[in-house]
Chain A
Amino acid sequence: MKKILLILLACVLVFSFAACTAGQTSDPGVDDQTPTPENPVIRLSTTTSVNDSGLLAYLQPSFEAATGYRLEISSAGTGAAIQAAKDGNADCLLVHSKSQEEAYIADGFGEVRVPFMYNFFVVIGPKDDAANVKEADTAADAFSAIADSGSTFISRGDASGTHTKELGLWVAAGQLESADATADGTLPVIDAPWYLSIGQGMGATLNMAQEKLAYTLSDKATFLANAANLADLDILLERADDMMNTYSMIAVTPERYDDTNYEGAQAFVTWMTSAEAKQLIADFGVAEYGQQLFFNLEDE
């Protein structure tokens, strides 16, 4: 009995090693006609909202087939995504927080910011809508209504683009004096029992809103992608003037770190703004959700 177990264990180990090495050597389906670039790996640092909605996974095969590059995508809140680029762990950024992007370029880590698509933030809340957010004209009005009714609001609290946007809306709603970070790098928090700052990604935030029947701010794509698990929540406000969410790309400057793949990042930016990618972005989610999730910015 013991011998059989030992042999089994040995087999499992051998197989797992074999699987590992196989994974390393096999080449993903790159077109034979496309020449492989000198430095084929592009490290893309992006935000959870782009990744969780499935947009990048949907675009990735087309990009790789068209250019021969290989994308390695890591996602975190915008603050962390930008920090990864500053630390030399990324070649290209795809984020959605204008103020943080401009600060990044001002610090000399990138040359240009290429805004290329947008979607809308949405105010999510319980179906019975105790704060009457549905009647609001703008997101700022909706936030005032939530604060006045004392309904629970879940904040990302993770220095992400969505969190930055949320703080700006609280300032507009007169609940916060400033959305700026304090000297030690922490962002302001509303000190009230109905305001919960949880420091987690969009998916976890929506799950908590579902559990606590609370309000939150989300990007529309992530909410729709997770809607099956969020049966008690609804989109209560969308497409208000103050809820546009613009995504930009920045190629990381090659001047700081020798191994930064600047050519790759440029190729990615060029492809993402090509007619082929624009069509793909416009089509994304239409079949599944019956509506367009991301919109291309017009060329200026």
Chain B
Amino acid sequence: MDNFWHVITLLFSDAGAELRYIIGVTLTMSLFSTTISTLIGMPLGILIGSREFRLKKPLMRVTHALMSLPPVVAGLIVYLILSRNGPLGAFHLIYSLQAMVIAQVLLISPIVCGLSTSIASIRAPQMLETTRGFGMKRSKEIWLLLYESRSQLISVLMLAFGRSIAEVGAVQIVGGNIAGKTRVMTTAIMLETNKGNFQYAITLGVVLLLLALVVNLASAGLQEK
């Protein structure tokens, strides 16, 4: 409990400037990764789940395999691509916030896609039967499907956000944990643990948990609407 109040006072004191900056970078990164992963994964997943086509099964297998892509592997792939002598080296994106978001999108969009596929394939059959009866347009069907599954889809969103904020392997590799630039909560916790500075490490851990709690409360509020 002492630790908890220590964290709260530190957050709003002068000494907490670095901590606030790290939180800012973490939230920026997680919001961008979650949004982009959702924009890519969710429509794709809904489409795959609600339609029948020849390559559906293989496509779902690949998505499911990518869902268990280890973060360090995603990090390594993005590192090799963005590295100075890699194919996209000319953009100088390595060790930047953008690089971290790219690695996380590679990691998280398959998860969003795979889960959305499952949700859509459960909901779609009965719903389509009804809407076809009404003679509804295909584009309208998708919107209705999204609306009807909103509560589950919000859970997927939260999972994506949780995965992003808790991830350490990929962001360490492509972000480089640069102080005041690409250092996020998880890489900072790793660093302080490696330094043997356990007090500060656990402080950061408590803040991370608080952030997760706030985000979950917000999502619970959304789901109840």
- A and B physically associate: yes
Q: Is B216 an interface residue (CB 8 A)?
A: no
- Residues in B lying within 8 Å of A, measured CB to CB: 15, 83-84, 94-95, 172, 176-181, 183, 187-188, 191, 193-200
In A245-279, which residues have CB < 8 Å from any B CB?
none
Query: Which residue of chain A has its CB nearest to the CB of B191?
Result: A199
A231 CB → nearest B CB, Å: 9
Check A158 against B194 for contact (C-beta < 8 Å).
yes
Given A158-B191, A211-B84, A211-B95: A199 and B196 interface contact (C-beta under 8 Å): no
The 25 listed contacts between A and B (C-beta, < 8 Å) are A76-B196, A79-B196, A79-B197, A80-B195, A83-B196, A86-B196, A158-B195, A159-B197, A184-B15, A184-B200, A185-B200, A189-B179, A196-B178, A197-B178, A199-B179, A199-B191, A200-B176, A200-B177, A200-B191, A204-B176, A210-B84, A211-B83, A211-B84, A211-B95, A212-B95
Q: Is A161 an interface residue (CB 8 A)?
A: no
Check B15 against A199 for contact (C-beta < 8 Å).
no
Most chain-A Cβ atoms within 10 A of its Cβ — which of B179, B198, B199?
Answer: B179
A77 CB → nearest B CB, Å: 6
Query: Which residue of chain A has its CB nearest to the CB of B10?
Result: A184
- Chain A residues with Cβ below 8 Å from B194 are 76-77, 80, 158, 199
Q: Is A93 an interface residue (CB 8 A)?
A: no
Q: Is A123 an interface residue (CB 8 A)?
A: no
CA distance A157 to B179 in the complex (A): 9
- Chain A residues with Cβ below 8 Å from B183 are 199
Most chain-A Cβ atoms within 10 A of its Cβ — which of B180, B187, B198, B199?
Answer: B180
- 8 more contacts with CB within 8 A, not counting A158-B194, A198-B177, A208-B95, are A80-B195, A83-B196, A158-B191, A159-B195, A196-B176, A196-B178, A199-B179, A211-B95
CA distance A89 to B142 in the complex (A): 58
In A179-202, which residues have CB < 8 Å from any B CB?
184-186, 189, 196-200
The size of the chain A interface, using a CB distance under 8 A, is: 27
- Interface readout for A205-237 with B: 1 if CB under 8 Å, 0 if not? 000101111000000000000000000000000
- Chain A residues with Cβ below 8 Å from B197 are 79, 83, 159, 185
Most chain-B Cβ atoms within 10 A of its Cβ — which of A210, A211, A213?
Answer: A211
Given A77-B194, A158-B194, A198-B177: A211 and B94 interface contact (C-beta under 8 Å): yes
A103 CB → nearest B CB, Å: 12
- Chain B residues with Cβ below 8 Å from A159 are 195-197
CA distance A159 to B193 in the complex (A): 11
Given A185-B200, A212-B95: A198 and B195 interface contact (C-beta under 8 Å): no
For the complex of A and B, the 9 pairs showing the least CB-CB separation, nearest first, are: A83-B196, A199-B191, A197-B179, A80-B196, A159-B195, A79-B195, A80-B194, A196-B178, A199-B177
Check B83 against A199 for contact (C-beta < 8 Å).
no
Q: Is A82 an interface residue (CB 8 A)?
A: yes
